[in-house]
Structure formats: structure tokens, C-alpha cells
Amino acid sequence: MRALDVAPRLDRLRARLDDAGVAALIVTNLANVRYLTGFTGSAAVLAVTSGGSGGSGGSGGSGGPGRALLTTDGRYRTQSAEQIASARAPVEISIGTTQAQRDAVRSLLAGVGPIGLEADHVSWSDSRQWGELLGDVVPTSGHVEALREVKDEGEIDRMAKAAAIADAALQEVLPMLAERVSEEEFALALDTAMRRNGAESTAFETIIAAGPNSAKPHHRPTPRIIAAGDPVVVDFGAAFEGYRSDMTRTFFVGGEPEGELARVFAVVRDSQARGVAAVAPGIGCKEVDSVCRAVIAEAGWADRFEHGTGHGVGLDIHEAPTVSQLGTATLAPGMIVTVEPGVYLPGTGGVRIEDTLVVTEDGSRPLTNFEKTVAVV
Ligand code: CO
């Protein structure tokens, strides 16, 4: 497995901060902290000063330009030192109480401004506290998230591994669908199989939705017994070294679907295949959504596809870019997105099919490779 390329990320962030006219960024989102430093603990703040050309006081403080300080508490003294050394991230560490951590950040950023907060992740009360501590704070949005959109080779390898674990786990437990187990029992078996195959955890709470429940896109598993004739939506993923996979398959228990659900399955299958074929560098995320939506609209179910076509995946299960009518990003090599159209008929059932794809130089490559089997007998 190729290594994660953590060390250059801070300088990429600094270039963005310079462009935005921000002299420093307080990173409080833990996935962003992990991305920039390699540190995986459950509590940390990362203060990053820009390259120095942005803002008004970039070189005026005691910190000066181009520094990064991770603050955390005593529980993570050893772990933070080990992980940051292993990532070769140019980051200083300060360990202490909450007050000591704040003092360390204030000292680094003395005279520096404006200082960006991650507006999408900071609570109202936290933003007020940071303002009282640091003075010139401003809201910023999406700086680290934009870097995270394009994965390096090490990240792609970990996501491919997560997806392969999920594929193998589903292969193992799929026959259970025909053995009159409940949604909950099947979810537990699938989750356990992922762990046995090397997942550190599930990527998110597994969705098993059988019969009429399959018409609820984000149904939670219940004691309902999965029976012959049921459509079963299986939406799940594995996490491996922090990186997540995401895949959905819809199966029919006891044989091929009949009637309206047979048509729903064929339309969703076609919509998903066309969406996958559209994924390529230079294509807008909105366009991929339009391709999937057009197939479903043509079949007369435009109002039964009530969610976006997909999303970025990585350290978070849902991250930039958004693949929907609201998606403004253009696909580029190294981005990883899902394509997951669905049609849901309340009272009857639903179908969703999803793959996670890495954008390549000339198209895309699926990381999720489980066959799109229809019938489980
Ligand atoms: Co998804």
C-alpha cells in the first residue's frame, strides 16, 4: 500500500489562505486535523499560519509565517508525537489543559490577523470564545475540504482496500438473505464480516431495508423478517485506516422482481450505469446528476428520486464534492465520488444502486466491484 503524502498538505493550505487574505486558520474539524497532520485523536486544535503574504499581520506576531501548532491534552501526548513524526508533518505540538492549549494558540497567533475559523464546524459559542481569545477572527469555509477533494495515491489505496473489504463481506453473507433473517440480523452479520475482513469499523450505520421499508432511502434495520418477494436495499461500507467505502445494492429475495418493481430496477440500473459512464475529468458534478435524473424522469418517476445522485467520500462518508443539482465542482483526476440514483414507491418498495468511483485521466474506475445481482434464491 502506497504511503499517505501528508507533509505537503500544509503548504497547499497556506496557498489557499494567502489567496483568501487570511493570515491563519484555526482547524477544529477532526477529519481536517487528521488530514493535515496524521493525528487521529478525539480532541485537538490545529493553528496554521499562512505563507505570510496574506492578511495584515502575518509576520508581526511571535509566531511568524509558515508555522503549524497542534494542541491536545495529556491523553494524546505519546500518540500525537508518534503520528506526527510518522506523517513527517511539519507541525509543533503543545500538550496541556484546555486553558494551556488556548494560551499556546494565542501566543502563536499574537499580532496575526485576520484569523479564519472553520465556519461550517464551529458552534456559535465556540466562535465567540475564539473571538474573545484571538480578536480578529473571520468565518471561512471549505479550505481544507477543497484540498481533500482530490485524493493522493495512498488515500486511493486505502479506499480501494475499504471497498474490497466490503465486497468480500457481502459475498460471505449474501446467502443469508434467503434464510428468513431479520433486517437487524443481516446488518449485524454484514458488519461482523467487514470487521473480520479487516475493517476498523463500518463506514456508517449499515442500511438494510426490506419489503416496503426499501421505499425509505435511509431506513434503519428493524426486526422485520426478510421474506420471499422482498426487495432488499443494502447500503453499507467499511472504514480502513480512516478512509471509507460506500456501496448500495438492491436484491430481490426468491427470484427476479415482477411487475412495477421489475421496471423500477431496470430504470435505476440504467440510470446508474449512465451516471457512471458520465464520470470523467472536466465534467461538472451537476451534469452527472442530470444524466441520472433524466433516465428516471423519462420513466415517469422524476418525483420519486428525491435525493442527490452522489457525494465525495474519504475520511468522511459524505464530503465534497456534492453530486447534485447544487454541485458546483468540476470532476478532476483523483476525486472519489459515488453515483447512487434511486426510485422509491411508498408502500411498494424502492431500488437504489451505488458505486464509489475514482476519477482517472480519461474516465473513472470503480472501487466497489460487487456484481449487480438481482435475485437471491
Ligand atoms: Co452514498
What separation in Å is there between the alpha carbon of 236 and the centre of ligand 1?
8
The per-residue pLDDT for 54 is: 39
SS3 category, 167: helix
What separation in Å is there between the alpha carbon of 316 and the centre of ligand 1?
11
What separation in Å is there between the alpha carbon of 75 and the centre of ligand 1?
34
Closest CA to 3 of 92, 89, 72: 89
| pLDDT tens per residue, range 72-111 | 999 999 999 999 999 999 999 999 999 999 999 999 999 9
Average pLDDT on 40-50 reads: 97
Q: Outline where DSSP puts E strands in 194-318.
A: 201-202, 207-210, 231-236, 238-240, 243-244, 247-253, 310-312
- pTM of the predicted model as reported, rounded to 2 decimal places: 0.94
What separation in Å is there between the alpha carbon of 129 and the centre of ligand 1?
35
Give Cα separations from 40 to 36, 45, 187, 357 (angstroms).
11, 12, 27, 25
Judged against a pLDDT cut of 70, whether residue 296 lies above it is answered with yes
Closest CA to 288 of 329, 239, 254: 329
In 252-329, which ranges are continuous DSSP H helix? 259-278, 285-298
pLDDT > 90 in the chain, percent: 95
Average pLDDT on 168-183 reads: 97
What separation in Å is there between the alpha carbon of 130 and the centre of ligand 1?
34
Give Cα separations from 232 to 259, 265, 372 (angstroms).
16, 12, 13
Give Cα separations from 190 to 8, 92, 239, 377 (angstroms).
37, 41, 13, 18
User: What is the rounded CA–CA span in Å between residue 147 and residue 31?
Assistant: 12
Average pLDDT, the chain: 95
| pLDDT tens per residue, range 187-217 | 999 999 999 999 999 999 999 999 999 999 9
94: alpha, beta or left, given left = phi > 0 and alpha = psi -120 to 50?
beta
The per-residue pLDDT for 52 is: 59
What separation in Å is there between the alpha carbon of 339 and the centre of ligand 1?
8
